Amino acid sequence: MNSSIAPFHLAIPVYNLPECRAFYRDVLGCEEGRSSDSWVDFNFFGHQLVIHYKPKEEEPNLHTNPVDGKSVPVPHFGVVLPWDIFHAFAENLGNKNIDFIIEPYIRFEGLIGEQTTMFFKDPSGNALEFKSFKDMGQLFAK
C-alpha cells in the first residue's frame, strides 16, 4: 500500500446547506475551507469534500445491497481510519446520538481483511461509511 496517498475531491448535493455545514464541521469535526452562498468545502480527513446546495427533490429510493445480513446503502462514501481512531470516532458519534444505518461492528474477525465498519447519513440523506482494518496492509487483500 502506498503510504503517500493523493487526496481525493468529492462534491455532493445537499438540500439544507446550513444544517449540513454544521454536521460536517461540528459533528464530524471537519475543518471548513472556502465557501460561498451555494457551497462549502471541508478537510474531510485529509481529502477535499464539497457540499453543494441542490434543491430537495422527491425522496429518492435508497438502494441497498446485502452484506453480512445487513442492508448496505448504495451509493455511499467515507474514509478508512486507523483502528484506534475509528473506535474513538465511533464512540464520539454515539455520544452525539448519530442514527446509525449500520452500527459499528467487526467483519471477518480473525480472518484476512478483519475490519470494523459503520454507516450513517448526513442531514441531506447522503450515506457515509467509515471503516478501519486491524492490519492496514490488508486493505486490498483477497
User: Which CATH number is associated with domain 9-55+64-138?
Assistant: 3.10.180.10
Domain ranges of the chain: 9-55+64-138
Distance (Å) of CA 40 to CA 29, 36, 69, 125, 136: 14, 6, 36, 17, 31
pLDDT digits (tens, 9 = 90+) for 40-58: 999 999 999 999 999 998 7
- Check if the beta carbon of residue 42 is closer than 8 Å to that of residue 8: no
E-only strand ranges, 30-69 = 31-35, 39-44, 47-53, 63-67
pLDDT at residue number 26 = 97
Cβ atoms within 10 Å, residue 64: 15
At 60 the pLDDT is 67
